[in-house]
Amino acid sequence: MTDGTWVGATAKQIARAVRRGDVTATQVVADHLEQIAVTDPSLDAFRVVRGGEAITEAEKVDDQEDLSNLPLAGVPVAVKENTAVAGLPVWSGSAAVRSAVAEEDHEVVRRLRGAGAVVVGVTRMPEMGLWAVTDDDEVATRNPWDLDRTPGGSSGGSAAAVAAGLVPIAQGNDGLGSIRIPAACCGLVGLKPGRGVVPAELGVGSWFGLAENGVLTTTVSDAALGFSVLAGRDPVKLVEPSRLRIGVSTRPPIVGVRLDEPNAEAVAAASKLLVRAGHDTITADPRYPQSLGVGTLATWFAAAYVESADFDLARLQPRTRQHIRLGKWAMRAGLVRRKQRDAFRERSIGFFADRSIDLLLTPALATAPPLADGHAGGTWRANMSVSMRYAPYAAPWNVAGLPAIVVPVGVRPDGLPLAVQLVGPPDSETLLLAVAGQFEVMNPWRRHAFG
């Protein structure tokens, strides 16, 4: 809590207080709407703020006789703008791809509301979610830790909102790192569930099955709570994991990418924390075949092409139009291959068994988050270079469909957050959360950019 308001409280703290009657959902939401009004003009995290509608929803939560079964009772949440919220268009990053007003909620939004959460607004993303920066022709969304820097992409608006304390939890989705990259940029916990765990179909598709819905939070317990709601499960109870064998790799998936010193040191520090927690660590480099890079690029291009079928291409940004042109070529050339993705998934699952490891530790980013400005109007080549060189470590695990989590581990010399990524085999979301919880206990991080 900050200055007598509920701004800065965790989702878990808010829900407990609302269920007990210590505060009303209406008051909590009003506090956060006031904070959004003051802070968001400098961030541009939100596309739309649902002021009056959110208060009305909060009042309906307060009117319920029994709140005991609402794990997110009264919790203000933000939803990424490519995810349908009844009564709002699905923007997907620009007016050029905005859909008609949605008549009903996406399933993950329905689950959030069913758990007692109140949607205060929808957050910005880059056009069609294609880039690891969040901007459009009008504004660039900014990182609360440094307004000159991007909060990442494509769930950059969601990450900026959580890092600034505008909401305690935000929904995002992750096609090639779009939850984990913003989480790393903004010092948050970002969980990408494994394939088939959370409803994944988005407003403009699911990127050939690569995309997953998840949450961004400031604590592991909130990440566990949000995950359980989206997955339709009973609240996850995190317990101390038994002794694990964890592989450590800093090898970039892309040839020519250089890992900077702060991110290399973050992995070393995280490895030491794992040993302190009683786990064993070994060097274990996954094999990233050249065909993986080619296939991932082709799928990335083709996702834009397939999802642009009903769009006015002339209104799209130049970088997006080039992506779509390459996607059309990739589809016609037969470079988008389900069998290739399935083979990498099987190889990745086998990697854990062959090396007798339970989890894999990697960098979250290769370099500092780029500057916030200048991307939407830039060339396709410049945008590709930025996205791939600073954030290459996330994409392979979308192709493999494996769960992965980003956890803060410190700060860079320039004051921006540092983070690492943990990856696990299928159905290891709870284990990933438990190990992330050990990081949080042993090495607590600053939860918000404002202190």
Q: Per residue in 400-419, pLDDT tens?
A: 999 999 999 999 999 999 99
Which residue is it, tokens 């056009």? 127
Alpha carbon distances (Å) from 57 to 52, 123, 168, 378 = 9, 18, 17, 41
Burial 242-252 (b: 16+ CB within 10 A, else e): eebebbbbbeb
* pLDDT tens column, 133-152: 999 989 999 999 999 999 99
The average pLDDT across 240-251 equals 97
In whole angstroms, give the CA distance from residue 238 to residue 220: 9
CATH number, residue 190 = 3.90.1300.10
In a domain, 3, yes or no: no
Q: Which H, E and C letters describe the chain, residue by residue?
A: CECCECCCCCHHHHHHHHHHCCCCHHHHHHHHHHHHHHHHHHHCCEEEECHHHHHHHHHHHHHCCCCCCCCCCCCEEEEECCCCCCCCECCCCCHHHCCCECCCCCHHHHHHHHCCCEEEEEECCCHHHCCCCCECCCCECCECCECCECCCCCCHHHHHHHHCCCCCEEEEEECCCCCHHHHHHHCCEEEECCCCCCCCCECCECHHHCCEEEEEECCHHHHHHHHHHHCCCCCCCCCCCCCCEEEECCCCCCCCCCCCHHHHHHHHHHHHHHHHCCCEEEECCCCCCHHHHHHHHHHHHHHHHHHCCCCCHHHCCHHHHHHHHHHHHHHHCCCCCHHHHHHHHHHHHHHHHHCCCCEEEEECCCCCCCECCCCCCCCHHHHHHHHHHHCCCCHHHHHHCCCEEEEEEEECCCCCEEEEEEECCCCCHHHHHHHHHHHHHHCCCCCCCCC
The average pLDDT across 198-226 equals 89
In a domain, 246, yes or no: yes
Q: Is it the case that residue 388 has pLDDT exceeding 90?
A: yes
pLDDT band at 204; cut points 50, 70, 90: very low
Which residue is it, tokens 């859909």? 99
pLDDT of residue 4: 78
Q: Which of 81-85, 96-100, 241-245, 353-357 has the lowest mean pLDDT?
A: 96-100
Beta bridge partners of 371: 149
pLDDT of residue 1: 64
The average pLDDT across 100-127 equals 97
The average pLDDT across 230-254 equals 95
pLDDT of residue 202: 60
pLDDT of residue 309: 87
pLDDT of residue 203: 46
In a domain, 449, yes or no: no
pLDDT of residue 364: 98
**Chain-wide mean pLDDT for the chain?**
96
Count structural domains, the chain: 1
In a domain, 268, yes or no: yes
* pLDDT tens column, 9-26: 999 999 999 999 999 999
In whole angstroms, give the CA distance from residue 130 to residue 301: 9
Residues taking part in catalysis: 80, 154, 178
Q: Is it the case that residue 205 has pLDDT exceeding 50?
A: yes
In a domain, 381, yes or no: yes
Q: How many residues does the chain have?
A: 451
% pLDDT > 70, the chain? 98
% pLDDT > 90, the chain? 93
Contact criterion met (CB below 8 Å) for 165 and 219: no
pLDDT band at 237; cut points 50, 70, 90: confident
Contact criterion met (CB below 8 Å) for 152 and 186: yes
In whole angstroms, give the CA distance from residue 160 to residue 437: 22
pLDDT band at 236; cut points 50, 70, 90: confident
In a domain, 391, yes or no: yes
User: In which domain, by residue range, is 145 found?
Assistant: 11-290+335-442
